[in-house]
Amino acid sequence: MGRVVLGVDSSTQSTKVLAVDPDSGQVLARGQARHVVSEGAARETDPEVWWRALGDALAQVGEHARRADAVSVGGQQHGLVVLDGQGRPLRPALLWNDVQSAPQAAALVERHGAGWWAGRFGSVPGASFTVTKWAWLHENEPDVAKAAAAVRLPHDFLTERLSGAAVTDRGDASGTGWWSTQAEAYDEGLLDTIGLDPALLPRVLGPGEAAGVTLPGLGVREGALVASGTGDNAAAALGLGLAAGQAALSLGTSGTVYTPSVTRPADASGTVAGFAGAHGGWLPLACTLNCTLAVDKVAALLSLDREAVDPGGSVTLLPFLDGERTPNLPYASGVLSGLRHDTTPGQVLQAAYEGAAYALLAALDQVLAVDGAPSDAPLLLIGGGARGTAWRETVRRLSGRAVQVPVADELVALGAAAQAAGLLTGEAPAEVARRWRTAEGPLYEPLARDDAGLARLGGELARAFGTA
């Protein structure tokens, strides 16, 4: 029997495991287990839920897990995991889409200035960033902050449970707001300001560096290599084998658009987050909170199938159901305007698609411009929404770009698997993914860009929130 690598995607909603042949890229087996996320103002999950879900997913993979040669974890970004001295969670993890820390984010930006943050950390922190969540915890639950013996990101937590190593990678670390992309190190001055001891943080591994090997009794072969892992978007970029000038638009719980760059991003406007890439370069990225779940909520309110859209009409819908990250509107709610007697439910649903896609597509050119070289390469459409006709056609019409939909799915898990495979073969993970031909899929030619629709959306955004 040939070699096997395991790629893990621990996302907001579930943990997925792919067992992959590192030579051919063939997916040999799949496992998935759901998570429980709190409802209401807080967006939290007990990290033990992720660990149990990983165990369940590994059990579904079965024999392939028990003979795996290497494993890697891609995980949701930004989440704050606070542990005691035995590695047990002191409280539920604050997730990336929890916006309770919006006041702390505003205070941190006001204290230092947006330019300082962008120049030093590559990003201007909003309520998604881990640094704001720690500031919230420090202010609102000081006893928990004081009791913390370790602070981790979601993927770090699982990597440490698998290997015993307290490590992270530069891609995920760059989303904390306390790891400087300028210095490629934790910023101890900032950590002192927010009351976080750097000794509580994991060691940052470089691209291609292993975390260690798997511990016994975990449902995966003891002694298998464990890669550094990374955040979900950086893992998906590896899974696609992205090169500079190729942009991916991911339609999932969140919406993201990103591309690898050789230039370190530093956007003081906060639109483009200047993340480091797991490949060793940079990964400029724009992210929205409201994507497929927001559109599905509108469909449910209208008692429509998600594909039951109608063209035309005058409706504009900004589906900021949980606040928004891009643009930075953490206290926003949804806005519906332009209703007429002849407006159909399908037109309202179509407007939800347009509102969800608008901010991502508005940021696309800024993401691609980081290296100063505009690109007309097809936009790679990924994530759960990429399989939907309504999503694809909305993106084509509002972007005016060719769109390619990779046949390969579970690209975060595939990227993690490519990272694990690189430990065995000595290849860069993106080269592994290109050898696996993960980005191949049907190509849809560009449509004429709907400039009138874009202007209507931009005008409503400016009218409702004073921004565009």
Which residues are part of the catalytic machinery? 232
* Neighbouring C-beta atoms of residue 430, cutoff 10 Å: 27
Residue pair 154/75 in contact by the 8 Å Cβ criterion: yes
Number of other residues whose CB lies within 10 A of the CB of residue 312:
11
CA dihedral over 305, 307, 312, 316, signed as positive or negative: positive
CB atoms within 10 A of CB 453: 16
Structure letter (DSSP) for residue 219? S
Is 335 exposed, middle or buried (CB count within 10 Å of its CB: 0-12, 13-18, 19+)? middle
CA dihedral (207, 212, 217, 221) in degrees, to 10, reads: 70
DSSP string, 339-402: --TT--HHHHHHHHHHHHHHHHHHHHHHHHGGGT----PPEEEESGGGG-HHHHHHHHHHH-S-
Of all residues in the chain, what percent are helix, strand and coil, respectively (each to 5)?
A: 40, 20, 40
Q: How far apart are CA 347 and CA 313, in angstroms?
A: 6
**Contact indicator for 336, 315 with CB cutoff of 8 Å:** yes
Provide the greatest CA pair distance for the chain. Answer: 66
